[in-house]
Structure 1
Amino acid sequence: MTYCVGLYLKDGLVMLSDTRTNAGVDHISTFSKMHVFEVPGERMVTLMTAGNLAISQSVITLLQQGVELDGEHHTILTVPSLFQAAQLVGVAIRHVWKRDGGPLREQRVDFDVSILVGGQIRERQMRLFQVYSAGNFIEATPDTAFFQIGDHKYGKPILDRALTYETSIEDGVKLVLISMDSTVRSNLSVGLPLDLLVYRRDALRTEQRRRIGEDDACFKQISEGWSTALREAFRALPHPQWP
């Protein structure tokens, strides 16, 4: 299992993923689920993956090698728009399904993959998409300013309560870290280190890309501060007074 979250904000994108994969409690590994394709000044495209690791790695490899889209051979670095990048991801997913779907069914393994695609290409709009295992996708909007994939139930409440399209990038970073901290505390299949990416609209290059480990002072401060704030808020609430 995994947890990835992407924020679509007025001023840019904030994207965060964990790195834990597991095939049982005694088989835990670390793999990056964030893949950045960047040509500074020309494009910045980030993909985050959840689901079956073998499927997602096959999809990423196809995106690097190239697949056919609208009669032309494209890679993630040659598509002319983010919309077509999302289309290309969908085509790659369906290609892997055609190759591996049958054998997976025979082994009673679900074809499970979902991918967040965010970024911007020169002279195009910044966009964020969520691509499903069927290859279809939806787009983030000011009304729906974040996407989550993987085990998102523990990290969703803070985003539902506090996040809007107008949220600053700095507050967005705090929110995704709190969302991830809540998930890590409640789900052993999600864990550090984390991969964080910050992109400012129209910059056409990443503003910050950081690997967050157990000893990261900023993450510790936010985690401990959020726990303290929750305890204090709980103690400050009045006891229920039933009529």
Structure 2
Amino acid sequence: MTYCVALKMNRGLAFMSDTRTNAGVDNVSVMRKMFSWEVEGERSIVLLSAGNLATTQAVVSLLDERSKAPGERRSTLLDTPSMFQTARLVGDTLKEVIATTAQGGQKAETTFHANFILGGQIRGSEPRLFLIYPEGNFIETSEETPFFQIGEHKYG
């Protein structure tokens, strides 16, 4: 079971996640679900994950790998011009992972399902917080709904 929540407040963003994962009746273990990237003084980005563990790990690994070799690839988490573009990048990477994995004949809508909460700040702009769906599209917090939660909602 996973539970992650992120809040946008007047003075910044707050992120929380558990570390428990459940792969069956008796197969419970611990996995990291919060990931961060930072360029000091320029940007800070946090990603929370819930859903299919293989999918979430592949997305995080691709984002991380691409940010370490930016000259060889297109935009990375460390050079997107805005948090909106960063959310698009994460959504596109999620779609890429699901499409690649689904080529084996499985139905991507359910088998490889994953959600992400992305938040952060790029120098010169306000902190922003997004909920990214398995389809790769996303929404942003508002004054009426300044938080997102993913995973097991019965606790929230």
Alignment TM-score, normalising by the size of structure 1: 0.58
Q: Which secondary structure does the structure 2 equivalent of 1:50 belong to?
A: strand
Alignment match, 2:129: 128
CA 1:12–1:93: 2 relative to 1, 3 Å: same
C-alpha distance after superposition, 1:35-90 (max 9, x if no partner): 011122111100000000100011111112339xxxx7012112121111100001
Alignment match, 1:84: 85
Alignment match, 1:240: none
Alignment match, 1:20: 20
CA distance in 2, matches of 1:87, 1:144: 21
- Contact 1:9–1:142 at 8 Å: present in 2 too? no
CA 1:109–1:87: 2 relative to 1, 3 Å: closer
Q: Displacement of 1:31 after TM fit? A: 0.9
CA 1:95–1:108: 2 relative to 1, 3 Å: closer
CA distance in 1, matches of 2:44, 2:146: 19
- Contact 2:77–2:89 at 8 Å: present in 1 too? yes
Alignment match, 1:65: 65
Alignment match, 1:115: 116
CA distance in 1, matches of 2:145, 2:24: 34
Identity %: 48
Q: Displacement of 1:149 after TM fit? A: 0.4
CA distance in 2, matches of 1:65, 1:113: 19
Q: What amino acid sits opposite 1:42 in the alignment? A: E
Q: What amino acid sits opposite 1:25 in the alignment? A: V
- Contact 2:115–2:131 at 8 Å: present in 1 too? yes
Instruction: Give the root-mean-square deviation of aligned CA atoms.
Output: 2.0
Q: What amino acid sits opposite 2:154 in the alignment? A: K
Q: Which of the pair has more CA radius of gyration? A: 1
Q: Displacement of 1:28 after TM fit? A: 1.3
Alignment match, 2:55: 55
CA distance in 2, matches of 1:142, 1:17: 23
Which is helix-richer, 1 or 2? 1
Q: Displacement of 1:94 after TM fit? A: 0.9
CA distance in 2, matches of 1:23, 1:35: 21
Runs of 4+ in structure 1 off by over 2 angstroms are 106-109
Alignment match, 1:44: 44
CA distance in 1, matches of 2:142, 2:107: 39
* Runs (5+) with no aligned partner, structure 1: 156-243
* Runs (5+) with no aligned partner, structure 2: 68-72
Alignment match, 1:169: none
Q: What amino acid sits opposite 1:88 in the alignment? A: L
CA 1:103–1:129: 2 relative to 1, 3 Å: same
Which is strand-richer, 1 or 2? 2
Q: Which secondary structure does the structure 2 equivalent of 1:143 belong to?
A: coil
CA 1:55–1:107: 2 relative to 1, 3 Å: closer
Q: Displacement of 1:106 after TM fit? A: 6.6
CA distance in 2, matches of 1:143, 1:106: 35
CA distance in 2, matches of 1:10, 1:93: 30
Tell me, yes or no, if structure 1 residue 99 matches structure 2 residue 100.
yes
